[in-house]
Structure 1
Amino acid sequence: MSRKALLIFSVLSLMFTISFSQTAKQKALEKRRYQLQQEIVRVNKLLFKNQKKEENILGYLSDLNKRIQVRSDLIKAIVAEANFFKNEISKNEKLKSELEKELKFLKEDYAQMILKSYKSKSEQSKLMFLLSSKNFYQGYKRFRYMQQYADFRKKQGDTIVAKTKKIAEITSDLKVQRNKKEALAKKNKVEADQLAFEKADQLDLMKQIKSKENQYLADLKKKQVEERKIDLEIERVIKEAIAASRARTKAKKTKIDVNAKPSGFALTPEGRALANRFEQNRGKLPWPVSEGVVTRNYGVIRHPVYKNNTIDSRGIWIATKKNANARAVFKGTVLAIQSVSGRYAVYVQHGNYISLYNNLDKVYVAKGQKVNLKQPLGVVFTDKVSGNTELKFQVWRDSKKQNPIYWLAKM
């Protein structure tokens, strides 16, 4: 391959790579916006459809904060996408202007070439030019020159056609890009207006809460104490299950997994194989409800209303529709069923992993029962005061809690 051909190939490859990269970026921005739009729909449907504002003002404000956060993220996504089109429009307008200048020059040059060719009486002049050669070599050279001149004219004509076509394509792209940018601007206006309305509602609620702050803080602390008791009970159940598994293995002298931790479950080869399959599906597990919105994240987080108050969240809380079923995220065995204050928690064991489904109103399964992927385990409890239906979902590896978000597939 010649150096010129190699250079042309390199330039074309670079242009293709840039074009592919821009298309990928545009699709990623569109996908992000669409995901946030869908989350807004889920938030409205699952958090506000049955919400009782007057009876649960703290919960309502917490949910409103969630909607404000998602809408703010949506506005940022819309702005990012609009800026992408703004940059693309600017680049295409510049490219179109350059091509139009080149095309104008090419057309003028081509017109002069045609005019000169016409004035020279074309075919007769070519023949005389050849016949007047002093020798064969000069005649051949003149013949080659005429061929190259004809080729140059053809290539110049082709270039004019190609540039004209390219300008038409860019003009069409610009029209599409401007329409998309305008549509995004309208979307942004709608979302910004709605956000302003929600923030005004948020401010009004904060004033109402402030007037009864001591009462609300006392209720909050009471709930946190109850939640801590449940967390300790969950830890106790898991540690006792681990101890029981090791005791059974010791009594039966069963062959166990040599890689198992001394403080973890005593695993048979079958149990280790199941745990391995569970690990391989990290980030791919189905959600424990068919439709949901995360209302509380994992880890030490600030309270959504009282920012100075922190929460040690052992899992995630997922708001779902009324009468929704909690479903197994992976095949396994029901390790335990726990009853706390009239609600239930189902523990499903997957080797040395446990998926925990808490805040159930009814349970469909029994201890020791084998369950399959997405098998219904029970009905998620609906709070009569708030109107919310929330599943409290946890993942454990032996006695160590995990962040469930890292295990579940992206919604």
Structure 2
Amino acid sequence: MKFFRAVFFLVCVFAATGVFAQSSAELKRRRDKLSDELEQLNREYEETKNSKKVSLKQLNILKAQINLREEKITNINSEVRNLDNQISESNNTVRSLQGQLDQLKKEYAGMVLFAYRNQSAYNKLMFIFAAKDFNQAYRRLKYLQQFGTYRERQAGYIQNTQRDLHVKINELDKDKREKRTLLQSQEKEKEELGKAKNNQVKVISDISKQQGSLRKQQSDVRRRLAQTNKAITAAIRREIEIAKREAEEKERARARAEAARAKAENREAVATKPTITKNSTNSEILNATPEAARLSNDFLGNRGRLPWPVANGQLVHGFGTYADADGIRNENNGYEIRTNPNSAVRVVFEGEVRSVVDVAGAYLVVVKHGEYFTSYSNLKSVSVSVGQKVSTKQTIGTVAIDPATGDATMTFTLNKGREFVNPRLWLAPD
């Protein structure tokens, strides 16, 4: 019975270890990806340092480096916590296995002593013949036979437990070494983070000496951002108006058809309650057709799993407010993403292209997904047209170089009706 309890305990421990290993593997994959992105940013930053003129591109690269290093430190903290849990589990397992091994050895020593005292055939015969009756003699004979088998099995249990103990001790040593390595890596990242922040202060100081060109660049960024938001809002407002007109026209067509049927049947027309009224919400208007309602539901069902609009990229500015080099706070309604020059921009979900416009020399594409809209701005070229149906991950254009920063960036926004929503809640984890 003790043996089976021990086996059950080990199964539970190894199962838990498997869960930790899976989580650790995912964290390691994320750490490696962050390291690759940081290496790329380091190369880009070294290239910008060769230019005597400090630009917003340097500042944006430094901001991206700081964000990635902070995320990497957080990731390492999670890995260390994971290892602490594994080390704690391993310590508990080692103590349990050591206790089981001591108990097995104690029991085995008792059996060896008993066997030693009854090692002669004479003693065994005397043990059997000293029985009260035939049944007891038979049971004693079977006991001696089973005792030998049990003794061999106990020896096997001891060997297996010793082997499991050795394995867990090795795993424990490995986890401790890995934890030391991670902590060293964490200290290095903190040191690099401090350097990046110092560089950021220096770059901002250098940029402040070029107030004229800096303010023009920042002004261009803010103006283009405002123009893009205005174009997106206008496109969505137009779509709501179109959907409302179409729904109202269908209501009128139904009423005319009912009136014609009533006249032909010589009866009064039955008045039906209109589905779209002046008090209808944007959601009701945009979901007035079964196709639109289905698409909205499918889009909502993929919340948190939508692909990114570019295959590879780093987040420059997330959803919400941020301060530029002038200290002026800007409102970002989506995700500003840095990527490689000429990278393909892809739609995140099936839908219909409803707007393609030029904003400050770059294209903006708005795609409708029922009551949801996704927008893709700062595109150098566009490969779709208004009214075209598009599928998930279909390429709709290529990224342009931002004239203000010299970076290949695009901005992705997501709306539910007229309301801008945070893409972080919808896009799959990077």
TM-score (norm 2): 0.79
Mapped partners of 2:368, 2:107: distance in 1: 80
Higher alpha-carbon deviation: 320-329 or 66-75: 66-75
2:69 is aligned with 1:71 = yes
> Quick one: structure 1 residues 92 and 57, their matched pair in 2 at CA, closer, same or farther if it must change by over 3 Å?
same
* Maintained 8 Å contact 1:46/1:292: no
CA contact (8 A) 2:228 2:364 kept: no
Q: Does 1:283 align with 2:278?
A: no
Distance 1:101 1:172, change over 3 A: same
1:191-202 to structure 2, matched below 5 A, reads 191-202=189-200
Q: Could you list the runs of 5+ residues in structure 2 that have no partner in the other structure?
A: 255-273
Q: In structure 2, do the counterparts of structure 1 residues 361 and 174 end up closer, same or farther at CA, with 3 Å as the change threshold?
A: same
Q: Which residue of 2 aligns with 1:38?
A: 33
Q: Which residue matches 1:356?
A: 375
Give yes or no for contact 1:82–1:184 (8 Å, CA) kept in 2: yes
Q: Is the 8 A contact 2:414 2:422 kept in 1?
A: yes
Matches within 5 A, 1:368-387: 368-387=387-406
SS at match of 1:378: strand
The equivalent position to 2:313 in structure 1, one of 292, 300, 306, is 292
1:396 is paired with a residue whose SS is strand
Q: Distance in 1 between matches of 2:35 and 2:57?
A: 18
**Which amino acid in the other structure matches residue 311 of structure 2?**
S
What amino acid sits opposite 1:359 in the alignment?
A: N
Question: Contact (CA 8 Å) 1:47, 1:319: kept in 2 or not?
Answer: no
The corresponding residue for 2:425 is 406
Q: Is the CA contact (8 Å cut-off) linking 1:238 and 1:398 kept in structure 2?
A: yes
User: Structure 2 vs 1, CA of residues 60 and 125 (structure 1 numbering), >3 Å: closer, same or farther?
Assistant: same
- Asked if 2 retains the 8 angstrom alpha-carbon contact of 1:65 and 1:202, the reply is yes
| Among candidates 130, 134, 137, match of residue 136 of structure 1 | 134
- Structure 1 pair 408–138 and aligned structure 2 pair: CA distance change class (3 A): closer
Could you say which residue in structure 1 is the equivalent of 2:323?
303
Q: What CA distance in whole angstroms lies between the structure 1 residues aligned with 2:309 and 2:100?
A: 61
Q: How does 1:1-400 map to 2 (within 5 A)?
A: 8=4, 13=8, 15-42=10-37, 44-45=39-40, 49=44, 52=48, 55=53, 57-86=55-84, 88-89=86-87, 92-93=90-91, 95-96=93-94, 99-100=97-98, 103=101, 106-107=104-105, 110-111=108-109, 113-114=111-112, 117-140=115-138, 142-143=140-141, 145-147=143-145, 149-150=147-148, 152-185=150-183, 187-188=185-186, 190-209=188-207, 216=214, 220=218, 223-251=221-249, 253=252, 258=275, 261-263=280-282, 264-265=285-286, 267-299=288-320, 301-303=321-323, 305=325, 309-400=328-419
Deviates most, 101-110 or 241-250: 101-110
CA-CA distance at 1:279 after TM superposition: 2.4
C-alpha deviation, 1:98, in angstroms: 6.1
Task: Write the letter of the residue equivalent to 2:27.
Answer: R
Question: Which sections of structure 1, spanning at least 5 residues, go unmatched?
Answer: none
Per-residue Cα deviation, 1:37-93 (whole angstroms, up to 9, x for no partner): 313423553796387455553442233122122213213322442454355346535
Give the deviation of 1:367 after TM superposition: 1.9
**Offset, 1:345:** 0.6
Q: Is the 8 A contact 1:30 1:81 kept in 2?
A: no
CA contact (8 A) 1:246 1:266 kept: no
Which segment drifts farther, 209-218 or 289-298?
209-218
Work out whether residues 294 and 318 of structure 1, in 8 Å CA contact, stay in contact via their aligned partners in 2.
Answer: yes
Is 1:47–1:388's contact at 8 Å kept on the other side of the alignment? no
* Aligned residues of 2:354 and 2:366 also touching (Cα < 8 A): yes
Tell me the CA shift for residue 290 of structure 1. Answer: 2.0
For residues 344-385 of structure 1, give each alpha carbon's deviation from its aligned partner in whole angstroms, at most 9, with x where no partner exists: 111122223221111112222222223333222222110245
- Alpha-carbon deviation of 1:323? 0.9
Alpha carbons 1:334, 1:348 under 8 Å: kept: yes
The question of whether the paired residues in 2 share the 8 Å contact of 1:52 and 1:385 is answered with: no
Shift of 1:388: 0.5
Structure 1 pair 267/152, CA: closer, same or farther in 2 (3 Å)?
Answer: same
Q: Sequence identity, in percent?
A: 26
**Deviating more after overlay: 99-108 vs 118-127:** 99-108
Q: Retained in 2: the 8 A contact 1:52–1:60?
A: yes
Return closer, same or farther for 1:347/1:97 CA change in 2, 3 Å cut-off. closer
Displacement of 1:231: 1.6
Which stretch of structure 1 is more off in the superposition, 87-96 or 34-43? 87-96
Letter paired with 1:128? M
Q: What's the CA shift for 1:224?
A: 2.7
Q: How big is each residue's C-alpha offset from its partner over 1:303-348, in whole Å with a ceiling of 9 and x where there is no partner?
A: 2656x64322111111111011222222322211121221111112
* Aligned amino acid, residue 407 of structure 2: N
**Hey, what's the Cα distance between the residues in 1 that align with 2:290 and 2:95?**
70
Relative CO higher for 1 or 2, CA cutoff 8 Å, sep ≥ 6?
1
Aligned CA distance change for structure 1 residues 376 and 141 (closer, same or farther; 3 Å): closer
d(CA) in 1 for partners of 2:93 and 2:87?
10
How many angstroms does 1:392 deviate by? 1.0
AA aligned to 2:203 is L
Query: Could you tell me whether the CA contact under 8 Å between 1:382 and 1:388 is conserved in 2?
Result: yes
Aligned with 1:71: secondary structure?
helix
Report the secondary structure of 1:282's partner residue: coil
State the one-letter code of the partner of 1:277: D
Of 389-398 and 52-61, the range deviating more from structure 2? 52-61
C-alpha contact 2:129 2:137 (8 A) present in aligned 1? yes
Q: Is the 8 A contact 1:315 1:395 kept in 2?
A: yes
TM-score (norm 1): 0.82
Say what the alpha-carbon RMSD is for the aligned residues.
3.7
Alpha-carbon separation, structure 2, partners of 1:133 and 1:359: 99
Superposed displacement of residue 101, structure 1: 6.4
Say which SS state the counterpart of residue 286 (structure 2) adopts.
coil
